[in-house]
Structure 1
Amino acid sequence: MPPRSDSAQRGPHPALKGLVESYTGTSLTGCTPGIHLGTPSLTLPLIMSLRDHPVVQLQSRTGADRVAYQGLVAGLQLAPVLIDHASSAMTLTVELTPRGLTELFGARPSDWFGVSVHAADALGRSVEELRQRVEFLDGWPARFAAVDAYLLALRRDRRSAPTLADRAWRTIRATGGGLTVEQLAGQLGTSRRTLQSCLVSQLGVGPKALSRVARFGRARELVHARLQHRAPEPTLAAIAARVGYADEAHLIRDWRLFTGCTPIRWRDVDAFAFSD
C-alpha cells in the first residue's frame, strides 16, 4: 500500500491574531520510518500527538536519549530537532508567537530557548485535556475549532500591550530578516544595546540570530518548492539574492547550521518534509 497523507492548515480565530500564526493537522500512514528534521522558525510550536502516535525526539541520529511526547512545546531553536518518525503519525500543531506564549499561557519564551518540554508540565494540565478532547473529534475543521475555543477562553484571562521584544519580533517577521540590527533598533526607536538585551532576556536569542532564522525560513519555502517539483530553477544563487543573503555561500552556511545538511541534500536526508 502506498503512503497516504491527509493534512490541513488554517489560521486561528481573528481574535487570536498576533498570538497564533496557524494550525496544521497532519496524518501519515504507510511511510518508511526515518528521521524528520524540525528546522528553526520564528514561532514556538505546540504539538499534540493524536491516536497513540507519540512524537519521539532524538538527541542524535544514533537513537540515543529518546524522549516520547504526547504533547510538547518547543522554544525558539538555532539547530535542527531530530524527530524519530514512525510509519504512521498524526499530529496537530499550533504555531504560537512569542507574545502568544506569554499572553495565553503566562510563560516566558526565553525559559525554553533551545529545548522541548512536555506540554502538560510547561503549560498546565488543561493542554493535555485539550489534546484528549481533540483526539476523538472527526475531521480537521472540528479539531481546529476546538483549539480556537480553548485559546479564546485563555485569552479572556490575560491581555497585555506588546513589549519591545514583541514589536521587534513582529518587524523581523514582516521584513523577513532584511534589516540590520542598527536599522531595526532605529525603526523601533531604541538603541542596539537595549534591543539586544531585551530580546535575549525575553526570547532567549538576539536580533541578529532571529533575522538569520527569518531569512532561512523564506529560503526554506523556495528550496522546498524547487525540490518538491524536482526543478532546476530557481538556482540557489537566485534564492539567496531574493531573500537577502549576500551570496549563495552565506545561504549554504546558514542551511548547514539550521539543518545539518546542504539545501540540495535536504530531500535525501528528510523525506518526511516532502510527504505531501
Structure 2
Amino acid sequence: MSPRHEVVQVPPHPRLRPGVQIYRGFRIHAGHPRERLELPVGFVTLLLGFDQRITIGSVGTDLAADPVGAGSQTFTSLLAGMRTSSVIGVHSGSVHGIEVVMRPWAAYAMFGVPMHELTESLVDPSDVAGGAVRRLVDRLAEIPDWPTRFTELDRSLLHRVENGPTPAPRVLRAWDLLVGSAGATPISGLSRELGWSERQLERMFREQLGLAPKAAARVLRLQHALRLLVADRPLAEIASRAGFYDQSHLNREIRAATGMTPGAFLNRIRQAPTATARVDGTVTTLVLQA
C-alpha cells in the first residue's frame, strides 16, 4: 500500500471500551474526487480532519457537480449524531485524519450535551467542545506516526470521559437489550424491564442516546437486515428475521434509508468489497466513487 494511501484501524484504550469502538486513521490520495455513502448506524462518529475539507449532502444530491448546493455542509472535522437515513460525503481525493466510532451513550459522556441536539445532524465538534478539539487536531496533525497519535487521542478522550456526565445505568441496560435483539425488543417491554414509563424511557433515550426508542430500534433492524443481505440471505428470510412485516416493507425501509433497492445496494458491495468500512460486521460506509 502506498504511504500516501493508508488506513490504520486499532481499538481504543481499554478504559474507553466498549463505548468507543474503534479508531480509524486514514491518509487517502486518490487523485480524483471520492464519494461515499454514510449509512444510518447505531453509532456516533467523530471525524478529526487534518487538512482537506469534506462536503456532506443528502442522498440524491450531485455534490461533485454542485458542492455548495441543496443544503450541503462542508467540514474539516465533524461530529455526526445518530440518524435514520444515509448521507453522501465527497472529498477532493486527498484527505488525512482520524475517525472515532462510538456508542451514542459514550458520546454523551464525552461531550456532555443532550444527544438529541446532534440527532439527524452534523456539526463542527468545536461548536460542542470549544477550542479543545481544535488544539487536539493540531497536536495530532503534528505527530509523525499513527501509534503516537492514537496514544495522544487516548489521553485526550479519557480526560473528557472521566470528567463528563455518567450515562444512567438503566439507559445502558436498555441500549444493550435493544442492540442484543437487533431492534426487535418491544418498547413496552423495555419500559417494564427498566421500571420506567414509556415517556420516561423516551426522554432518557433522547437525552443520552439521541434518537427516541422506536427510531433507534428502526435503525438497528435496518442494520440487521443489511448484514443478512450482505450474507446473501433471501429477501423473504431477511424480512422475517429482521422484524419487517413482509418483503415489500423491507424494500421500502432499505430504499428510504439508503436511496437504493436491496439489489442495488448488494451490487455496490459486490463491485467494491474492499471499499467499505465495517464495525461489528455492520457496513457503515460504502464508497460510491473510489
With normalisation by structure 1, the TM-score equals 0.82
Deviations, residues 120-174 of structure 1 (Å, cap 9, x unaligned): 1222211122122222334433332221111112233235252543432232223
Structure 1 residue aligned with 2:100 = 94
In 1, the alpha carbon distance for the partners of 2:167 and 2:83 equals 25
Structure 2 residue aligned with 1:261 = 260
Alpha-carbon deviation of 1:179?
0.7
Identity %: 28
Deviations, residues 168-210 of structure 1 (Å, cap 9, x unaligned): 2232223221211122222222233332343235444221110
Structure 2 residue aligned with 1:136 = 142
In 2, the alpha carbon distance for the partners of 1:114 and 1:248 equals 27
Does the 8 Å CA contact 2:114/2:210 hold for their aligned counterparts?
no
Relative to structure 1, the CA distance from residue 200 to residue 100 in structure 2 (aligned partners, 3 Å threshold; closer, same or farther) is closer
Does the 8 Å CA contact 2:202/2:213 hold for their aligned counterparts?
yes
Does the 8 Å CA contact 2:111/2:128 hold for their aligned counterparts?
no
**Count of aligned pairs between the two proteins:** 267
1:43 maps to amino acid: F
Structure 1 residue 171 and structure 2 residue 177: aligned?
yes
Aligned-partner SS, 2:27? strand
Structure 2 residue aligned with 1:229 = none
Mean Cα displacement is larger for which, 238-247 or 92-101? Answer: 238-247
Aligned match for 1:191, one of 197, 205, 216: 197
Q: Which has the higher contact order (CA 8 A, sep 6+)?
A: 2
Mean Cα displacement is larger for which, 173-182 or 208-217? Answer: 173-182
Aligned-partner SS, 2:110? helix
In 2, the alpha carbon distance for the partners of 1:188 and 1:31 equals 52
Does the 8 Å CA contact 1:18/1:99 hold for their aligned counterparts?
no
Aligned-partner SS, 1:7? strand
Aligned-partner SS, 2:163? coil
Alpha-carbon deviation of 1:101?
2.1
Structure 2 residue aligned with 1:19 = 19
Aligned-partner SS, 1:84? strand
Alpha-carbon deviation of 1:71?
0.8
Structure 1 residue aligned with 2:74 = 68
Mean Cα displacement is larger for which, 252-261 or 152-161? Answer: 152-161
Task: Describe how 1:1-276 pairs up with structure 2 within 5 A.
Answer: 6-30=6-30, 33-50=33-50, 52-59=51-58, 61-62=61-62, 63=66, 64=69, 65-158=71-164, 160=166, 162-223=168-229, 225-226=230-231, 233-266=232-265, 267-268=267-268, 273=276
In 2, the alpha carbon distance for the partners of 1:204 and 1:155 equals 18
Relative to structure 1, the CA distance from residue 132 to residue 15 in structure 2 (aligned partners, 3 Å threshold; closer, same or farther) is same
Relative to structure 1, the CA distance from residue 132 to residue 219 in structure 2 (aligned partners, 3 Å threshold; closer, same or farther) is farther
In 2, the alpha carbon distance for the partners of 1:27 and 1:263 equals 31
Alpha-carbon deviation of 1:91?
3.5
Q: Unmatched 5+ residue regions in structure 1?
A: 227-232
In 1, the alpha carbon distance for the partners of 2:57 and 2:165 equals 36
Relative to structure 1, the CA distance from residue 235 to residue 9 in structure 2 (aligned partners, 3 Å threshold; closer, same or farther) is farther
In 1, the alpha carbon distance for the partners of 2:225 and 2:27 equals 26
Deviations, residues 13-60 of structure 1 (Å, cap 9, x unaligned): 12112432222223333265353221111111111123x222211256
In 2, the alpha carbon distance for the partners of 1:164 and 1:268 equals 39
With normalisation by structure 2, the TM-score equals 0.79
Q: Unmatched 5+ residue regions in structure 2?
A: 277-285
In 1, the alpha carbon distance for the partners of 2:21 and 2:211 equals 20
